[in-house]
Amino acid sequence: MKLLTGNDLNTGLVTWWTGKDWSIHIEDAVDVGEDGETIAAAEELARRINGPYVIGGELTAEGPRPAHIKDRIRALGPTVRVDLTLKPNDPSAAERVI
Amino acid sequence: MYQYDQYDQAMVDARVAEFADQVKRRLSGDMTEDQFKPLRLMNGLYLQLHAYMLRVAIPYGTLSSKQMHMLAHIARKYDRDYGHFTTRQNLQFNWIKLDDTPEILTDLASVEMHAIQTSGNCIRNISSDQFAGAAADEITDPRPWAELLRQWSSFHPEFSYLPRKFKICVIAAQEDRAAMRLHDIGIQIIEKDGVHGAAVYAGGGMGRTPMIAPLIKEFVPLEDLLSYLEACLRVYNRYGRRDNMYKARIKILIHEIGADSYRAQVEEEFAQVKALGIDPPRAEFDRIAAFFAMPDLDANASDDLDLSHKDFALWVGQNVAKHKAAGHAIVTISLKPIEGIPGDATSAQMDLMADLALQYSHDELRITHAQNVVLPHVRKADLFAVWEKLVAAGLATPNLDLITDMIACPGLDYCSLANARSIPVAQKIADRFADLDRQRDLGELKLKISGCINACGHHHAGHIGILGVDKKGKENYQLSFGGSGAQDVSIANITGPGFDEDGVVDAIERATDKYLAERRDGERFIDTYRRIGMAPFKEAIYG
Ligand code: HEM
Ligand code: SF4
């Protein structure tokens, strides 16, 4: 699958394209197929996103999983500060993104 | 400490106002990211892996308690309650919102701080010896010289768009505590015929092509210093490789044309520049230097120290250094607790360190390039009280310069340029070598980790260096031995094939075991390595 990601213009937080909007939760991300670049351009123009780019990934039981470790860490948060990630109560989340 | 005059303050305030307007225009859509990015970078605002990151300049690593309290306040109010002290003696906030930045910069300006020139191809924050003004082995305080260079390089119009970033370091002691020769220009203040002047080294650096700066001029008198540096920069600005980012640093230019040719061109340029009259009168230097006068130390302070408390004695032995004044000492606060993240401090810890500085260290703190914090002027009689408060805050780890006092860059946990994570490796090594007796037996051992070839973690200069690489999508770590950023400066050599995260910890243990078996009296790890070479270590690691 292909995912569209970027950083929120104001907060800078990592966000994912959900089909109609942006979410900080990768679980909400949809497969953008071949439309990623077009959506990215429109959303950047509409000032909803900073530095959008398309990445490869796969759909797993837990939801979309980016192909590259960098984007898996982006999706979760720093692996060394579980308390600051999106899954503060799941100590094994960091292990799963590696 | 230096205090802003009206010009300093007016320049910083004007920049804050200008940037506030630029942020507004970006958020309202009047500016695209392509237009905005160079502007935010000029104000230290990066976009990193998880959010915007703000890098705050700490000139030559010196802070007052008021400034440290402000950093704590910013961490608490606008960020997630912590900050990261870096090898460039700066502070990075990792979770900044764009629309908060004007307020943050206003807060910083209120305590004479900013984030200007912490990015971009300009002269960056001047770094220095963290023991400046207090060290028993210095010939003078290098900070007046560093401050002179700060004023000269701030908003220098000709050097705002150099071929690449430019880092300058000034020291004035025999022992190099600031990796001076690994800077684009390294300056050592020396004495000749009773007069202080600058020995100027140029063309050092780390990154993908590490180089040790050669000596360019043995002695530049103070009254020529700015003209001489101006000439150094002009020659670089003219001939630096703007066509290739990887070859654009001054180290490549000097390596390619040779130190002799560079020196000759600088001399020629100097003859022109000197006539421009940019060197300030001696009185101006004296005015600056007066800000750095030794604080009013207790002249009756005693050298007696009760070391009967075992843990206190350990900490004194490891983290307390000799002060130039009787009855005083220099305290280094380790930001490397065994379970922690190298260089990170919480707001509460910053506040505590600021309070300690105000109460016990004449209102001064320093940041070290090894990511620790220094209280430079503590009475020996107060050491026990300071230590007790540090213990309570988790800041009394007695591991200075030992294997667990590692430098680690943010790596793939925070940095968008990273290939691999640095911090988890640092934590695994710390865990393996946590036993203090074992660390002390290994002695001085500088371990440095970078998450990519940019070498922000100084891995080339580590007695043991670790470089994170990407091996087919997996984190992999290259090991190297024999580097040093001190006066015995050297560049480390790679041991051989890389390891995974656990493998690299095992390899380090096999290497330190080898060292213990081979060492002679008084030899540090690096001394043994230099004497016996790589082969026995390779044998131990790869079998
Ligand atoms: C997280 C954002 C950061 C980015 C984007 C970044 C980027 C870079 C880049 C691109 C270089 C290579 C420059 C060159 O070789 O021309 C570099 C070098 C360096 N950086 Fe960073 N860095 C970051 C964080 C840090 C941190 C946290 C530290 C301190 C721990 C640091 C200190 C240094 C040092 C000491 C060097 C090598 C010295 C030299 O330039 O020769 N940087 N950085
Ligand atoms: S060395 Fe690489 S990974 Fe580490 S902070 Fe620098 S750019 Fe980032």
Per residue in B488-543, pLDDT (tens digit) is 999 999 999 999 999 999 999 999 999 999 999 999 999 999 999 999 999 999 98
Rounded to the nearest angstrom, the minimum Cα separation between A92 and chain B is 14
Round the average pLDDT of chain B to a whole number and report it.
97
Which residue among B58, B247, B454 is best mutated to probe the pocket of ligand 1, counting the most ligand atoms within 8 A of its Cβ?
A: B454
Q: Inspect the interface and report whether the beta carbons of A10 and B421 lie closer than 8 Å.
A: no
Q: Inspect the interface and report whether the beta carbons of B413 and A78 lie closer than 8 Å.
A: yes
Write the residue with the smallest CA distance to atom 32 of ligand 1: B456
Write the residue with the smallest CA distance to atom 35 of ligand 1: B456
- What's the confidence (pLDDT) of residue A79? 97
Q: Which of B37, B104, B47, B31 has the alpha carbon at shortest distance from B74?
A: B104
Q: Inspect the interface and report whether the beta carbons of B98 and A77 lie closer than 8 Å.
A: no
Provide the pLDDT confidence category of residue A85 given band limits of 50, 70 and 90: very high
A13 in B contact zone (CB under 8 Å): yes
Q: Inspect the interface and report whether the beta carbons of B50 and A13 lie closer than 8 Å.
A: yes
The contacts found for B491-497 with CB under 8 angstroms, 24 or more apart, are B491/B210, B491/B211, B491/B212, B491/B460, B491/B461, B492/B459, B492/B460, B492/B461, B492/B462, B492/B463, B492/B464, B492/B465, B493/B534, B495/B534, B495/B537, B495/B538, B495/B541, B495/B542, B496/B538, B496/B541, B496/B542, B497/B542
Nearest-angstrom CA–CA distance, A86 and A75:
8
- Assign B341 to helix, strand or coil: coil
How confident is the model over B97-109, as a mean pLDDT?
Answer: 98
Instruction: Quickly list DSSP for B295-332.
Output: P---TT--------SHHHHHHHHHHEEEBSSTTEEEEE
Nearest-angstrom CA–CA distance, B69 and B9:
19
A79 in B contact zone (CB under 8 Å): yes
Instruction: Quickly list DSSP for B391-422.
Output: HHTT-----TTSTTS-EE--GGGT-TT-SS-S
| Beta-carbon-side half-sphere exposure of residue B361 (alpha carbons within 13 Å) | 32
Residue of A nearest to B48 (CA): A12
Nearest-angstrom CA–CA distance, B379 and B299:
10
Ligand 1 atom nearest to B210, measured from its CA: 41
Query: CB of B207 closer than 6 A to ligand 2?
Result: no
What residues of chain B lie within 8 A of the CB of A50, using their CB?
A: 33, 47
Q: Inspect the interface and report whether the beta carbons of B473 and A68 lie closer than 8 Å.
A: yes
Q: Inspect the interface and report whether the beta carbons of A50 and B47 lie closer than 8 Å.
A: yes
| Ordered structural domains, chain B, with CATH | 6-110 (3.90.480.20), 142-290 (3.30.413.10), 310-392 (3.30.70.3340), 407-542 (3.30.413.10)
Q: Which ligand is nearest to the CA of B368?
A: 1
Query: CB of B86 closer than 6 A to ligand 1?
Result: yes
Residue of A nearest to B342 (CA): A80
Smallest Cβ–Cβ distance between B49 and the set A9, A74, A81 belongs to A74
Q: Which ligand is nearest to the CA of B208?
A: 1
Which residue among B50, B84, B208, B409 is best mutated to probe the pocket of ligand 2, counting the most ligand atoms within 8 A of its Cβ?
A: B409
- What's the confidence (pLDDT) of residue B154? 96
The predicted model scores a pTM of: 0.96
Q: What is the Å distance from ligand 2's center to B394 Cα?
A: 27
Provide the pLDDT confidence category of residue A27 given band limits of 50, 70 and 90: very high
Provide the pLDDT confidence category of residue B454 given band limits of 50, 70 and 90: very high
ipTM above 0.90, yes or no: yes
Residue of B31, B50, B79, B336 to mutate for A, most A C-beta atoms under 10 A: B50
- Residue spans of the domains in chain A: they are 2-97
How confident is the model over B401-418, as a mean pLDDT?
Answer: 98
- What's the confidence (pLDDT) of residue B345? 98
Query: CB of B92 closer than 6 A to ligand 1?
Result: yes
Cα separation values, B537 from A47, B469, B541, Å:
55, 22, 6
pLDDT in tens, B214-271: 999 999 999 999 999 999 999 999 999 999 999 999 999 999 999 999 999 999 999 9
- What's the confidence (pLDDT) of residue B115? 97
Ligand 1 atom nearest to B183, measured from its CA: 41
Sequence letter at residue A14: V
Residue of A nearest to B418 (CA): A70
- What's the confidence (pLDDT) of residue B487? 97
Rounded to the nearest angstrom, the minimum Cα separation between A48 and chain B is 10
